[in-house]
């Protein structure tokens, strides 16, 4: 779809391209100046590119920032946030007033230091950690192709544009991302590279001599270099890219801080206000006599017209979707509304009941495989994948076909050995809408995905990480593959739900929680080794949803409480039996999600934890367990890295055994009695 060229506004002299671009430049300059902090150089350098993109190509309607068939615009170089805020203001996004620009980087403003999704309408994804934006955009472009294949070009037909800087392309994640996008031939992805050869320390030649064009071409992209200040060259390159059958890189040779006589072309323009003197000189050099934040009427009118360019396209899209609305239910709308279809509930409940009745002795990764098999059909918008560990993660449902560059009908992504790009792409898929992405790797490699997981948590989006081989229980692969600190470190990320289910029923319940968590990403930590079932078939509510719950309550009051997660729940149950033989009254608590438990009302938490001494059991480092076991308790777990040996021997050698738990319980009870006597 070719973008309409703007028509002239009657009676008003049409502003030049330079005036439109200078409006962006000076809003950025003056906002940074007012805030006394920020990055003016990048918006000044990329103002011409952004002006051409928004005025001639980008399909958007400022009146409806969430119109599903809009083009996506990702500012991967998030430090240049004022470029985006200036565009949102000029094109007329609701709420993006000039007061907001004056409040750049201040408490409560819509204009934080780096763009934040969910905080500012028109911001498609949170950026700032360099490289994340371009990798997230790969997920968006992928989601577009997948939806296009399912619902056709009438409903889904848009591009994903990215502005990325040298920093984004230096980050390792960009390699994974461009490699994946090139492999899948995501031709609707267009990266506008701010090729200004400057980063914070100075010239990029200090640290980088990559031939970016050759690099992208080698990954299967089309690539070209243009003068990033020549509007016609920019337009021609974007036009070519839109018609290419591959993703496209347009290296836009620009001058950082364009127009600032003493700063342009140097790192001094990157990340500090220009200062009053230089601002005045820039105003003179670029012929912009206007006061800060004042945009001449004709320029503003033209920008507002640009903001409404997509109105007709949006209206006709709405017309086309009306016929879908006429149907009782459409998978298209279900997907975009992010709702779970009705069939899902019945399928999940049936499976949970089946696990409860059959009491399978299987690894939780196997239980997860059965969950995925069962729900994949009920959830047509479930989009699976793995970073080359499909057969270990057990993430592919029988019914899922792989996505290939020549067939986007599939619903399973072979992400390759690219954990970081997988996590970022899943963010992009979730942000785009239309799918619930999940992807697998080993828990120990969560570190490779962590920056993208953190952003998912910050953005509050539903992305599900299936992370198997969750402890020393994986055995012979040894300490490189045995996570010990990962549970603690993932639990430290706010708004991330870390689940460690202990049997098949809990695995189904954890999946159910993750799927229903519309504003939180989840990590499902699953065992490689088989685990006995401990939950019965008695239906009832999803117990994992409360984070921790009492599995065994002794009728005559508690002498001690054993709290365990995942594979260690079975150890706690055995230890309780051993202690019961000595007439010790033991409660067992299963705690599959400490994050959810933290959110429960105090009364509930007190009831679960009890007042007897508590033993925490988890084959990992202690982390936040100190809170749950208190001063009277003990932790049975890992204190360092694991080792290469069969799992049973490792549990024995590292002292995570039924006997060790029973001993810890006796010690704590004895200490507790002494303290009570002395009190
Ligand atoms: C992962 C990450 N590392 C470091 C930074 C800090 N940082 C912000 S901008 C920047 C330099 C980026 O250079 P470039 O992309 O060329 O931007 P330009 O100087 O052209 O604005 C750095 C190192 C960051 N934001 N993210």
Give 589-633 as a DSSP string: EE-S-HHHHHTS-HHHHHHHH-SS-EEEEESS--TTHHHHH-TT-
> Probe ligand 1: pick from 76, 199, 208, 274, max atoms within 8 Å of CB?
199
The pLDDT of residue 333 = 75
Q: Are 192 and 183 in contact (CB under 8 A)?
A: no
Which ligand 1 atom sits nearest the alpha carbon of residue 171? 1
In this prediction, residues 373-378 reach a mean pLDDT of: 95
Q: Looking at residue 10, what is its pLDDT? A: 57
In the chain, the N- to C-terminal Cα span, in Å, equals 80
Ligand 1 within 6 A of 194 CB?
Answer: yes
Ligand 1 centroid from CA 257, angstroms: 15
112 vs 126: CA distance, rounded Å:
11
74 C-alpha vs ligand 1 centroid, how far in Å? 16
Angle between helices 132-151 and 172-183 (to 10 degrees): 20
Question: What are the C-alpha distances in Å from 56 to residues 2, 231, 232, 666?
Answer: 9, 10, 11, 75
Q: Which residue from 164, 165, 167, 170 is spatially nearest to 138, judged by alpha carbons?
A: 164
The protein residue with its alpha carbon nearest to ligand 1, atom 13, reads 199
Mean pLDDT of 419-440: 98
Over 90: is that where the pLDDT of 676 sits?
no
- Give the C-alpha distances (Å, rounded to integers) separating 108 from 103, 111, 112: 9, 9, 8
Please state, in angstroms and rounded to a whole number, the distance separating the CA atoms of residues 408 and 119. 32
Q: Is the CB of 167 under 6 A from ligand 1?
A: yes
Question: How confident is the model at residue 538, as a pLDDT?
Answer: 66
The residue written with tokens 């997948």 in the block is 146
- Please indicate whether residue 574 is annotated as part of the active site: no
> Does the pLDDT of residue 580 top 70, yes or no?
yes
Q: The pTM is what? A: 0.97
For 339-368, letters b (16+ CB in 10 Å) and e give ebeeebeebbeebbebbbeeebebbbbbbb
The region of weakest confidence among 4-8, 357-361, 423-427, 459-463 is 4-8
Place of tokens 């920019």: 234
> Strand pairing partners for 227?
253
What pLDDT was estimated at residue 98? 97
Question: What span, in angstroms and rounded, lies between the C-alpha atoms of 195 and 216?
Answer: 14
Of the residues 25, 80, 167, which should be mutated to test ligand 1's pocket, given the most ligand atoms within 8 Å of the CB? 167
Tell me: pLDDT of 608 over 80. Answer: yes
DSSP H helices, 528-614, are 568-580, 594-598, 602-609
- How far is it, in rounded angstroms, from Cα 298 to Cα 290? 13
Tell me 404's DSSP state.
B
Confidence of residue 3 (pLDDT cuts 50, 70, 90): very low
Residue 267 Cα to ligand 1 midpoint, Å, equals: 11
| Of 19, 171, 176, 419, catalytic | 419
For residue 576 the two structure tokens come to: 């309780």
Cβ of 420 less than 6 Å from ligand 1: no
Phi/psi for 150 (5° steps) reads -80, -40
**Residue of minimum CA distance from atom 9 in ligand 1:** 79
Q: How many angstroms separate the Cα of 615 from the Cα of each of 427, 473, 562?
A: 37, 20, 5
Closest ligand 1 atom to 129 CA:
26
Nearest-CA residue for ligand 1 atom 19 is 199
pLDDT at 334: 74
Would you state the structure tokens that stand for residue 183, as one six-digit string?
Answer: 């492999």
Q: What is the pLDDT of residue 337?
A: 76
Query: What share of residues in the chain are helix, strand, coil (percent, to 5)?
Result: 45, 15, 40
Average pLDDT over residues 489-505: 98
Confidence of residue 536 (pLDDT cuts 50, 70, 90): confident
State the average pLDDT over residues 383-399: 97
Give the strand pairing for 464-468 and 522-526: parallel
pLDDT digits (tens, 9 = 90+) for 459-481: 999 999 999 999 999 999 999 99
Point out the ligand 1 atom lying closest to the alpha carbon of residue 80: 21
Tokens of 131: 């490289």
Q: What's residue 4's pLDDT?
A: 40
- Whole-number mean pLDDT of the chain? 95
**């103002």: which residue's tokens?**
47
Share of the chain above pLDDT 90, in %: 92
**Upper half-sphere CA count for residue 231 (Cβ side, 13 Å):** 16
User: Structure tokens of 292?
Assistant: 């800060």
Residue 326's pLDDT is: 60
Cβ neighbour number for residue 641 with a 10 Å cutoff:
13
Q: How many CB atoms lie within 10 A of CB 640?
A: 10
Question: How far is ligand 1, taken at its centre, from the CA of residue 450, in Å?
Answer: 19
pLDDT confidence bin for 554, thresholds 50/70/90: very high
**Ligand 1 center to 12 CA (angstroms):** 41
Q: Which two tokens stand for residue 232?
A: 């016609």
* Sign of the torsion angle spanned by Cα atoms 332, 335, 341, 347: positive
Closest to 563 (Cα-Cα) out of 576, 582, 579, 545: 576
Q: Using CA atoms, how far apart are residues 553 and 546, in angstroms rounded to an integer?
A: 17
Render pLDDT for 296-305 as a digit per residue (tens, 0 to 9): 999 999 999 9
Q: Residue 618: is it exposed, middle or buried by C-beta count within 10 angstroms (0-12/13-18/19+)?
A: buried
What is the pLDDT, as a whole number, of residue 338? 77
| pLDDT number for residue 1 | 38
Q: Is 139 exposed, middle or buried (0-12, 13-18, 19+ CB in 10 A)?
A: buried
CA 206 / ligand 1 centre spacing (Å): 14
Q: What is the pLDDT of residues 625-646, one digit of tens each?
A: 999 999 999 999 999 999 999 9
Residue written as token pair 């565009």: 87
Q: What is the mean pLDDT of residues 588-613?
A: 98
**649-662 tens-digit pLDDT:** 999 999 999 999 99
The finding on whether 79 has its CB within 6 A of some atom of ligand 1 is: yes
| Residue 434, C-beta contacts closer than 8 angstroms, at least 6 positions apart | 68, 143, 146, 147, 332, 335, 336, 381
Check whether 2 has a pLDDT greater than 50: no
Ligand 1 touching residue 371 (CB < 6 A): no
With a 6 Å cutoff on the Cβ, whether 196 touches ligand 1 is yes
Closest C-alpha to ligand 1, atom 25 = 129
Q: Which of 136, 125, 213, 128 is nearest to 174 (CA)?
A: 136
- Segment 236-261 shows an average pLDDT of 98
Q: What ligand 1 atom has the least distance to the C-alpha of 170? A: 15
pLDDT (tens digit per residue) in 324-344: 766 655 677 777 777 888 899
Report whether pLDDT(359) > 50. yes
Share of the chain above pLDDT 70, in %: 97
Distance of CA 132 to the CA centre of its chain: 9
For ligand 1, what atom is nearest to the CA of residue 114?
25
pLDDT tier at 143 (50, 70, 90 boundaries)? very high
| 78 CA from centroid of ligand 1 (Å) | 9
Give pLDDT, residue 385: 98
């Amino acid at each position: 779809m070719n973008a309409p060229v703007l028509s002239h506004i009657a009676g008003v002299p049409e502003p030049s391209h330079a005036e439109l671009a200078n409006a962006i430049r000076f809003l950025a300059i003056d906002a940074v100046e007012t805030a006394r902090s920020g990055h003016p150089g990048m918006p000044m350098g990329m103002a011409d590119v952004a002006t051409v993109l928004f005025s001639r190509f980008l399909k958007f309607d400022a009146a409806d920032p969430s119109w599903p068939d809009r083009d996506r615009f990702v500012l991967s170089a998030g430090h240049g946030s004022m470029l985006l805020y200036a565009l949102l203001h000029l094109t007329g996004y609701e709420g993006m007033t000039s007061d907001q620009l004056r409040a750049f980087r201040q408490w409560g403003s819509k204009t934080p230091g780096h763009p934040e999704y969910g905080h500012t309408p028109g911001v498609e994804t949170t950026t700032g950690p360099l490289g994340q934006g371009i990798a997230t955009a790969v997920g968006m472009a992928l989601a577009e192709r997948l939806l296009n294949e399912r619902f056709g070009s009438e409903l889904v037909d848009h591009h994903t544009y990215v502005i990325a800087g040298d920093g984004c392309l230096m980050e390792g994640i960009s390699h994974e991302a461009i490699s994946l996008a090139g492999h899948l031939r995501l031709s609707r992805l267009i990266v506008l590279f701010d090729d200004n050869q400057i980063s914070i320390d100075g010239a990029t030649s200090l640290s980088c001599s990559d031939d970016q064009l050759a690099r992208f071409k080698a990954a299967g992209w089309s690539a070209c270099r243009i003068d990033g200040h020549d509007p016609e060259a920019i337009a021609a390159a974007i036009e070519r890219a839109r018609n290419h059958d591959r993703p496209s890189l347009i290296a836009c040779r620009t001058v950082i801080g364009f127009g600032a006589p003493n700063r342009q072309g140097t790192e001094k323009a990157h990340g500090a206000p220009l200062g009053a003197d230089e601002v005045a000189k820039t105003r003179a050099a670029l012929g912009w006599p206007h006061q800060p934040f004042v945009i001449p009427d004709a320029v503003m009118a033209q920008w507002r017209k640009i903001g409404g360019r997509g109105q007709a396209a949006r209206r006709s899209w709405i017309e086309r979707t009306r016929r879908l609305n006429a149907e009782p239910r459409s998978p298209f709308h279900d997907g975009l509304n992010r709702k779970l279809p009705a069939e899902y509930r019945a399928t999940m409940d049936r499976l949970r009941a089946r696990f409860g009745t059959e009491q399978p002795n299987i690894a939780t990764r196997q239980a997860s495989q059965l969950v995925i098999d069962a729900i994949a059909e009920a959830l047509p918008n479930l989009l699976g994948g793995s970073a080359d560990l499909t057969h270990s993660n057990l993430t592919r449902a029988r019914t899922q076909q792989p996505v290939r560059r020549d067939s986007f009908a599939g619903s399973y992504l072979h992400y390759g050995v690219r954990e970081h790009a997988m996590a970022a792409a899943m963010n992009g898929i979730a942000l785009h809408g239309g799918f619930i992405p999940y992807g697998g790797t080993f828990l120990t490699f969560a570190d490779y995905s962590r920056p993208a997981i953190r952003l998912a948590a910050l953005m509050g989006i539903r992305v599900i990480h299936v992370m198997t081989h969750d402890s020393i229980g994986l055995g012979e692969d040894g300490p490189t593959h045995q996570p010990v600190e990962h549970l603690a470190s993932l639990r430290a990320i706010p708004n991330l739900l870390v689940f460690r289910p202990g049997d098949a029923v809990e695995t189904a319940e954890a999946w159910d929680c993750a799927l229903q968590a519309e504003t939180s990403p989840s990590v499902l930590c699953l065992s490689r080794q088989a685990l006995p079932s401990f939950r019965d078939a008695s239906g009832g509510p999803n117990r994992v949803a409360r984070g921790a719950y009492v599995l065994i309550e002794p009728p005559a009051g508690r002498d001690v409480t054993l709290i365990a997660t995942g594979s260690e729940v079975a150890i706690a149950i055995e230890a309780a039996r051993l202690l019961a033989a000595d007439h010790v009254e033991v409660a067992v608590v299963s705690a599959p999600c400490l994050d959810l438990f933290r959110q429960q009302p105090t009364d509930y938490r007190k009831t679960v934890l009890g007042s007897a001494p508590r033993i925490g059991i988890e084959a990992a480092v202690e982390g936040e367990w100190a809170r749950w076991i208190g001063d009277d308790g003990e932790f049975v777990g890992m204190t360092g890295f694991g080792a290469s040996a069969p799992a049973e021997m490792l549990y024995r050698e590292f002292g995570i055994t039924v006997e060790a738990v029973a001993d810890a319980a006796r010690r704590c009870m004895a200490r507790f009695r002494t303290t009570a006597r002395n009190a």
